[in-house]
Chain A
Amino acid sequence: MIAASLAHRRIAITGSTGFVGTALVERLLRGVPDCELVLIVRPGRRSTAPQRAAKEIFRNDAFDRLRELWGEDFDAEIERRVTTIAGDVSADGLGLDEAGRSEFARCDVVIHSAATVSFDSPLDQAVEINLLGPTRITSLCAELDITPYLVAVSTCYVAGNRRGNAPEELVSEGPFDLGLDWRAEVTSARRLKGDTEAESRRREHLERFRAEARRELGAAGAPALAAKTEQNRQRWVRDRLVEAGRARAASLGWPDAYAYTKALAEQALVETRGQVPVSIVRPSIIESAWAEPRPGWIRGFRMAEPVIISYARGMLKEFPGVPEGTVDVIPVDLVVAAIIAVAADGPHREPRITQVASGGINPLKYRTLVDNVSAWFTANPLYDPEGQPIVVPEWTFPGRGRVQTQLTRAKDVITRAERLLQALPLRGRQAEFSATLESRRLEVERALEYVELYGLYTECEAIYQVDHLIELWESLDDADRAEFNFDPRVISWPTYVNEVHLPSIIQHARVKTTPGKSRGTDRMTRLRRQVLDPKRHVAAFDLENTLIASNVVESYSWLATRRLDGRERLQYTLRTLAEAPGLLRLDRRDRTDFLRHFYRRYADAPIDQIEIDAAEMFTQLLLAKSFPEGLRRVRQHRELGHRTILITGALDFNVAGLKPLFDEIVAAEMSTTERNTYSGEMHQVPPTGEARAQILADYCAAENLDLAECVAYADSSSDLPLFEAVGFPVAVNPETRLAAIARKRGWLVEHWAKAPGAPRRLLPIGPLLSERARRPA
């Protein structure tokens, strides 16, 4: 009796927040009424281990059945039977503190299911977690002088890329052993990490990271650029290590770094186990549950799901694989039952390996899978945002090379188009188009990754033997068989694909499964509602192209030409046009320098006359070019009791007319001379780039407001520091780069336009006044 043999045992579990781990915890609590569990959980960035366990394990829908069963006692029961301790399998001694160690020391069984299962983890991470994880447990046991029974979860794919039978034995003891030294692999992986880190800091790389950051962010200011550059560097290091892992694995005949590190881990575990009795359970590709805790239960997106969903969305038109190949899939509940059975069965004299797989005994053929999937999506299509059903493409079982070439070509074309668009001065909806291109590119990139990674698995033709599993199954009595079913022969594949797996992942993927336009509120409406919540504190606005389709050059031109006659106007216009390219260059390089340089032109302007003319300009230029929806939004914020702030590089006297809209206007200020004229020099640096974020932060600090409750409206990627500082960024008529960023981060995007019918002027100069009216006031 499984339940009886595990009764009153303390079972330590690693990896309990994972897919298998969660199902395992649930099953033990439900199926083995008298056991106690010690969960070793890595604390989150903002949460302790018990908090993380409560949130990520016990609130999962796997526990719905237990909640129903236990009713109000659920929390008390969990409290009584489960102890959560903070630990980390990538740290020596599992990173346990004294209390943790003593908890661990009292355990009778340890089930190690922690792993980085992501198929594209960097080599160093895979080595630290997958390879060294089990040996860290055995060394800790040696240290504490305890000998609990250790059940380690591995994977069938440790057998590597091979055809024919893969038996339940250590790779190092099989005929294909390469005689690898796992310690040497660890050392070189660690060194590679160090080398790559050093390499990434070389000048030419750093310059490239910086150039990439600038291309993505534009003139966003030094701190934002620095952060992005560092992020690029880290990503580069990571990419290099992922590549290195894949290359090393491939060179040794494993599909990826996961299988490779797991294989070495088994070898290391057996070698370092000392007195600890060990068993290894090797599942194949784990998918949604066959029956327990309910049919179709799944956690997170597994391996096949992204591929299937991409296919159903029409994104992935072809996927490599041989039709007669076997896809070795095993439902999670069978894996969990097998692990529990192995734990209950107790250790054998030699470390025993049990494979939980379907290929050797009840194979699912690739063609069967594909036929079922495509029939299912033909009957139950997904719908595009317009509400039209998506027709799934015909599967042609192409070779991997062909698919890869196609995708790579598509990616190149899109990337080039994207570059071109980014170089154009686009705004608003046109810029959105470029953002669409970007998401297309990401889709292709993702598809390419799937093909590269998972293609290997679908092409894998090894048949995993399950003799030990069946032997264990035969030894069970009927009650155990009913309670802990792990016999792969019970699965009917068509039923599993059509009635269990696909409905479950469709629900999980939150894709559109009903025809007609989406009726519910779309994302932008939801975001808008958040922005216009009375709980917000401050709404900060940029001016140019956010509230008004004008700029400092136009304001100046209007004022400068107001009292000129026709000929003088022509001269002015020609002169300004001649200067334009230089000004534009300066503006692109540094906004603050540009403003300083440009505002020199106001030197000697009489203050009184500017005041009169600026009032007229407010009406004829600024209001005429304003965005009515923008101005309405400012007032909506005021009505809701939010503070409103205008932060602009424009001169204060040019925006004085906007005062009634804002609680605070932060603008450039110019010093004056004794002759009652402007000096052309700034009082203070015009607020641009990262200075805006600082201004807002200072304002909030001074007024005791929360920056996280601020809304910021701006139009350019140079406002990125401001956007990142606040809780609710809103991109208004974003230019290409900002549109892409806003889309990626899920920011609210507003398209505001001038009033339809607003006067249009080719040149930003005031209407020609009659000679009488032209006279200085």
Chain B
Amino acid sequence: MPRPGFVLDVDRSTPPTLFWHGERFRLEQLPADRSRIVYPPEPLPAIEHLDHAIRDALLNPIGSDPLPARLFAGMKLTIAFDDASLSLPKMRRPDTRQRMVEAVLDMAAAAGVDDVHIIAALGLHRRMHDYELRHVLGDRVFDAFAPRGLLYQHDAEDPDGLMVIGTTDHGEVVEINRRAAESDLIVYLNVNQSPMDGGWKSITTGLASYRCLSFHHNPETLQHTRSLVDRHRSALHKSVWRMGEVLRRDGPPIFQVETSLNTDTFPSSFAFLSKREWEWSARDRAKYLATAASLERTPTRLARRIFHSIEAPYRTTSVQAGDTEAVHEITLEHVYRQQVVEVEGQTDILTMGIPFISPYNPESIMNPILVMCMGLGYLFNMYRNKPLVREGGVVIMTHPTYREFHPVHHPSYIDFFDEVLADTTDPAEMSTRWETKYAEDEWYRHLYRTSNAYHGVHPFYAWYWGAHGQQHCGRVIIVGGDAPTVRRLGFTPASSMNDAFEIASDVVGASPTITHLHVPAMLVADVT
């Protein structure tokens, strides 16, 4: 029986705590008697026969006729799937999406459906490389569909490839992929790693246009999203659900398939990452020392390649299909069961190690903007009820925060860092002064559509993601980062954790309470 999540009170006997530091690690001794560490629950047991479970879910959906009953010869069928931003790290082959798409295609073939398009629902993310598509869908599906142009990626800037479904009572325009909109059925294949994803968000971001996205991806909405993992207190999800109403009323029929993952994040060679430090065996300790020491000597470039080649042993804990909202409620239950940790009360200082990866840099570089997005956007938002850190408290991150960018994946991030952040770090100001210029830039549009670049506006969205955290915190400190780069982000650089505590004392006094978020794996802190 896996153990639930756990909050450890640090005392004198507590060994140093593991912090991620980009492509490296560090061990930090947190002050005794006023620090605590939030550990995620251990991985839940997985479904034994996944293919069987998928078939079962398709044949016995919730709030819908079985999938075969909704398929008919001569129909237009569109299968959309989550892109490379899920899961993190990428899961071992065969990917759950491959298993799902193969099951759906079998049923479609049996029903005599011959107009099938498979679309990567990547929203404004970068196009996936062919090898990534092969990884996610398998060679068989790729070779059968890609060469004929039937497997392709959503293009939020294709002037002929988008269609307006309608407008919400808040005036939000729902505009999605034309092929999907004109289909007789959309089957959406989801991998749910965070309670933020899935439900109506799948289509209204993954298959949406820039115009449609801009109604919920903006500073105003994200500042009122408390938090991203709590859909009922999230302005973003409220907007998305309003759009869902429009889709349900005027859009194409949708058959949603959702799956939840457990938290078995690292292969056995990195097992120590998922364990609690005081339970490390002699072997774990040796592995840690060997890994940390060799990473110290490895150039960042190489360390990055090693980490991005990690394939996670994730297993699926549930599959459910049918009506979008009904399915999503069940998915959330599973996700929360895996991730929720009860935490009592807020803290003065929240510490977090920023890893090498975020949803926006698979196979790529964790650039400074993504460090902000990961820290204040994702990790800060992993709460229900109240943020882990009190209002006006301090967030301390550890990350090298090098000024490095991937020229192919993140071209607009480079300019964003040089131009926009040099001007302002305030989301509202940058939104009025700069966003349109980047969003409508012809060159970025070209790179997004034909190369493998994130959309020109994406660095803004990554920045807005942290808008709530930025507003909430009294100060943000990055330990071990490149000082000028950290300052450009509007944060304070510190050379060591003790330095950081010293700096934080200006804001939170001399003996503040400290909470460390032990991630990954993912968790949701339920703060009472």
Contacts and interface: CB of A to CB of B under 8 A. Distances in A.
B270 interface: no
Contacts of A101: none
Contact of B402 (A659, A754, A757, A770): A757
A524 interface: no
Interface in A695-717: none
Interface stretch (A234-242, A371-379, A454-462, A619-627): A619-627
A757 to B, nearest CB: 3
A558 to B, nearest CB: 14
Interface in A594-625: 615, 618-620, 623-625
Given A756-B402, A772-B143, A773-B130, A657 B451 contact: yes
B443 interface: yes
B442 A758 contact: no
B443 A660 contact: yes
Given A615-B450, A618-B451, A757-B365, A624 B415 contact: no
Interface string A736-777: 000000000000000000111111100000000010110001
Nearest to A634: B443
Contact of B450 (A657, A757, A772): A657
A661 interface: yes
A632 B415 contact: yes
B414 interface: yes
Contact of B443 (A615, A619, A624, A661): A661
Nearest to B142: A772
A632 B420 CA distance: 13
Contacts of A770: 131, 134
B440 to A, nearest CB: 11
A624 B411 contact: no
Contacts of A759: 406
Contacts of A772: 139, 143
A660 B451 CA distance: 13
Nearest to B367: A757
Contact of A624 (B367, B404, B408, B414): B408
Nearest to A632: B415
A760 B404 contact: no
Max count, chain B CB within 10 A of own CB: residue among A657, A758, A770, A777? A758
B77 interface: no
B407 interface: yes
A512 interface: no
Contacts of B404: 755-757
A755 B443 contact: no
Contacts of A758: 405-407
Contacts of B513: none
Interface in B404-431: 404-408, 411, 414-415, 418
A635 interface: yes
Indicate the size class of the contact surface on chain A.
Answer: 20 to 34
A660 B446 contact: yes
Nearest to B300: A757
Contacts of B407: 623-626, 628, 754-755, 758
Contacts, number: 67
B415 A623 contact: no
Contact of B301 (A615, A660, A755, A760): A760
Nearest to B449: A660
Contact of B405 (A615, A619, A661, A757): A757
B403 interface: yes
Max count, chain B CB within 10 A of own CB: residue among A618, A619, A760? A619
Contacts of A472: none
B131 A756 contact: no
A657 to B, nearest CB: 7
A631 B414 CA distance: 11
Interface in A30-63: none
B406 A631 contact: no
B383 to A, nearest CB: 32
A661 B450 CA distance: 14
B407 to A, nearest CB: 4
A658 to B, nearest CB: 9
B452 interface: yes
Interface string A641-670: 000000000000000010111000000000
Nearest to A626: B407
B147 A635 contact: no
Contacts of B235: none
B361 to A, nearest CB: 11
Nearest to A758: B407
Contacts of A777: 147
Contacts of B365: 757
Contacts of A632: 415, 418
B58 interface: no
B403 A756 contact: yes
A625 B407 CA distance: 8
A765 B519 CA distance: 38
Interface in B436-477: 441-443, 445-447, 450-452
Contacts of B446: 657, 659-660
Contact of A755 (B131, B139, B405, B450): B405
A623 B131 contact: no
A746 B370 CA distance: 40
A623 B411 contact: yes
Contact of B414 (A618, A620, A755, A773): A755
A547 to B, nearest CB: 12
A657 B418 CA distance: 24
Interface string A65-80: 0000000000000000
B414 to A, nearest CB: 4
B443 A623 contact: no
Contacts of B147: 777
A604 B406 CA distance: 35
Contacts of B414: 628, 755
Contacts of B143: 772
B451 A623 contact: yes
Interface in B275-308: 301
Interface string B122-164: 0000000011001000010001000100000000000000000
A764 to B, nearest CB: 15
Max count, chain B CB within 10 A of own CB: residue among A628, A657, A757? A757
Nearest to A756: B404
A626 B409 CA distance: 12
Interface string B389-407: 0000000000000111111
Contact of A619 (B139, B301, B445, B452): B452
A142 to B, nearest CB: 74
Contact of B442 (A624, A625, A660): A660
A632 B402 CA distance: 21
Contact of A628 (B130, B415, B441): B415
Nearest to A777: B147
A757 B400 CA distance: 13
A756 B411 contact: no
Contacts of B408: 619-620, 623-624
A755 B442 CA distance: 20
Given A623-B407, A773-B131, A635 B441 contact: yes
A615 to B, nearest CB: 7
Max count, chain B CB within 10 A of own CB: residue among A624, A631, A755, A772? A755
A755 B407 CA distance: 6
Given A628-B414, A660-B443, A757-B365, 19 more contacts: A620-B408, A624-B407, A624-B408, A626-B407, A628-B411, A628-B415, A629-B418, A632-B415, A657-B446, A657-B450, A659-B446, A755-B404, A755-B405, A755-B406, A755-B414, A756-B405, A757-B367, A757-B406, A773-B134
Nearest 6 A/B pairs, CB to CB: A757-B404, A755-B407, A660-B446, A619-B451, A628-B414, A756-B404
13 contacts: A619-B452, A620-B408, A623-B408, A629-B418, A631-B443, A632-B418, A635-B441, A659-B446, A755-B404, A757-B402, A757-B404, A773-B131, A777-B147
Interface of B: 130-131, 134, 139, 143, 147, 301, 365, 367, 402-408, 411, 414-415, 418, 441-443, 445-447, 450-452
